[in-house]
Amino acid sequence: MGRHQVVAVRSSRETSEEYPPGEDPRRWRALVVTLAGGFMMLLDVSIVTVAVPAIQEGLGASAAGVQWVVSGYPLTFGLALVAGGRLGDAFGRRRMYLVALSGFVLASVFAGLAPTLTLLIVARLLQGLVAGLVTPQNGGLIQDLFRGPERGRAFGLLGATIGVSTAAGPVIGGLILDLFGEPDGWRWVFLVNLPFGLLTVVLAVLLVPPTPRRSVRSDIDGVGMVLLGLAVLALMFPVVQSEAGGIGRFWWLFVVAVPLGYAFLRWERRRVAGGRVPLVDMRLFTTPGYRSGATLAAVYFCGFSGIWLVFAVFFQTGLGFSPLESGLAVTPFALGSAVSSWRAGRLVERWGRRLTIAGLATVATGLAATGVVGLLVEPAWVPLAMVVPMLVAGVGGGAVISPNTTITLSRVPTTMSGVASGVLQTGQRMGAAVGSAALAAIFYATIGVSGRYPLGLAVALFGAVVLILVALVLAVVENRVNAGNKSLENYPTHPIASG
């Protein structure tokens, strides 16, 4: 038995001592495997949108019913992120990754074979729940396995995964529907996760190193998980149901979220005062760069994630494109984002927040130009005319997500890295939900008044640009606060950063 095989079967404590942080030779292979799982989770946020008409026809469902297939997944996804991060911190990220990824594969099969809409909705809720347990392990593993400039490059790959999966969902969904056809081609949107997921599980068993268990069962903050989950549910439920009049019917949940959030904060302070481990240590938000980076990410995702539904409706309903053609029309954004995310991961150590500022300015410029093109160019030429501005927007977007993630998590101690990643991504999911609802409402309202899809697209994209400019202002303010810290390595270290 070789050295790596021996190490793989040792306890997590022995593994940690065998390879100091940043020196495990399996770290890059482990990263690729865990990002493959993360890609599946994020892809399922957007891939289903192109299959909605086929699902509605195949199961004889109403539009309101099918909306739950789309919105149920991000709802439970967002609910589980912080708890998933804390459980990974406590019981080991590799363990949580394998258990939750296996659950995701089973839930995907359940969704693909669901004979009724009700069972499909249940499967999607379960999919989102276990996906929320998987996703924070990616950021936590990067914190555990990488140090120095390598960590920036690793977060660059994570940023590329987020950007590409979001933009590639409609393309991959369109390909699957074209390949498998009617009436049950939509089932393969879910069943495709079975072979890919099983392969990822096997590779994770072989290549992802164990991480230390830092807690025992009695340390898990169950009450905190319930309180935070209910608060997030109260905030997200009306938003994800906005197309079905959710905000008008469930606005009172926003009010309910306030006492739930207050109760959560009081409970967490009580646990800290009692010497017990909280779900979210509030000192996390005093870590240099964390609070501002998390806020910036939430605002950016409002604009970034909200545009994809608008593009899908514009191309498919407004221009009569097929789902595949609609997906291909936004591919330049995905390509630009993938390339620049990797490059930005290499530059963030040197340029710090200035890189995010440049990225936000570029993505705002690209989306504004895309809106102008959609408004002025003849419909037949719109996809071709959008290639360059969409590519520019993608390049800018890639220079936002991965550098911001690196900066936001750079000073978080490893004992809190999972929950820090979960909190960060919860903000992103909530931002995505709010942005999708807001930009879709702007799009449909403009069409309702003018009857023109190009105008609706332009106004919605300008709305996205406004949100991205707000994120730009936040980045500029933080950069001025840390004016003497031109590179990431010069950012101040928090007192708890030693763990």
Per the CB < 8 A criterion, the answer to whether 108 and 197 are in contact is yes
Provide the b/e sequence for 393-416 (b: ≥16 CB within 10 Å).
bbbbbbbbbbbbbbbbbbbbbbbb
Q: State residue 441's pLDDT score.
A: 84
Residue 445 belongs to a domain: yes
Q: Of 410, 423, 427, whose CA–CA distance to 288 is shortest?
A: 410
Q: What is the pTM of this model?
A: 0.78
CA distances from 271 to 100, 231, 284, 451, 465 (A): 27, 19, 15, 56, 42
What contacts 319, CB < 8 A, 6 or more positions away? 379, 382, 453
Q: State residue 63's pLDDT score.
A: 67
Residue 255 belongs to a domain: no
Q: State residue 421's pLDDT score.
A: 78
Q: State residue 369's pLDDT score.
A: 96
CA atoms within 13 A on the CB side of 483: 3
Per the CB < 8 A criterion, the answer to whether 268 and 278 are in contact is yes
Residue 193 belongs to a domain: yes
User: Average pLDDT by consecutive 10-residue portion of the chain (499 residues)?
Assistant: 40 46 76 87 81 81 75 81 80 86 94 91 90 83 79 77 75 83 84 92 88 62 82 80 71 87 86 76 78 89 83 85 81 85 78 89 95 89 92 91 82 74 81 82 88 92 94 89 55 43
CA dist., res. 301 & res. 5, Å (int)? 41
What is the 8-class DSSP label of residue 412? S
Q: E-assigned strands of 84-173?
A: none
Domain count across the chain: 1
Q: State residue 247's pLDDT score.
A: 73
Per the CB < 8 A criterion, the answer to whether 170 and 52 are in contact is no
Residue 431 belongs to a domain: yes
Q: What is the CATH number of the domain that holds 326?
A: 1.20.1250.20
Residue 247 belongs to a domain: no
DSSP letter string, 324-365? HHHHHHTHHHHHHHHHHHHHHHHHHHHHTHHHHHHHHHHHHH
Residue 283 belongs to a domain: yes
CA dist., res. 43 & res. 332, Å (int)? 17
CB atoms within 10 A of CB 183: 10
Task: Give the domain range for residue 197.
Answer: 3-209+279-480
Residue 151 belongs to a domain: yes
Q: In the chain, what's the furthest Cα-to-Cα distance?
A: 71
Residue 77 belongs to a domain: yes
